[in-house]
Amino acid sequence: MRGPDREIVAKERRLRRQQTDAERVIWFAVRDRRLGGFKFVRQEGIGPYVVDFVCREKMLIVEIDGGQHVENPRDAKREAFLQAEGYRVLRLWNNDVLSNREGVVSVILDAAQSRCPSPGAPSLPSPASGGGRGSPPSPRQAGRGEECG
């Protein structure tokens, strides 16, 4: 196959038009190299998946998730694929983005500036249980067990 898959491109475009409020907040913070000079793109196809944000230079994916992603087996398979491709995956909660924009943006910048993810980064509690409110944001998953090159 030559060029991008038409279905993936159509999905990318649809997701860009229908972004969530939290995705809109993060896009405003990272677009046009606003975050530490790093180039992020949104709703980008990687293999069969479309990720929320990716900085290819740092092999960093940022996913902004809602409660539907808590312990979802499809998400685990997707993340395993992305990590096998060499990406670090940083997952953050929608409610953290909306309630603590500056803290979340700081977490993303730290991840982009670091050479390696922090192993075993703490997980945030489920939004359904009211987690994440009032505490500093932290990545739910950040490429555990990777070797630094």
- Rounded Cα distance, 124 and 97, in Å: 13
Average pLDDT for 16-22:
80
Going by the DSSP 8-state scheme, the letter that residue 116 receives in this structure is S
Residue 124 burial (CB count, 10 A): 21
Domain with 68, as residue range(s), is 6-129
CATH of the domain at 61: 3.40.960.10
If one counts the domains in the chain, the total is 1
User: Which range is least confidently modeled, 7-11, 44-48, 92-96?
Assistant: 7-11
**Does residue 119 lie in a domain region?**
yes
Average pLDDT for 4-30:
80
Burial 42-57 (b: 16+ CB within 10 A, else e): bbbbbeebbbbbbbee
**Does residue 135 lie in a domain region?**
no
Average pLDDT for 10-27:
80
- Rounded Cα distance, 116 and 57, in Å: 13
**Does residue 145 lie in a domain region?**
no
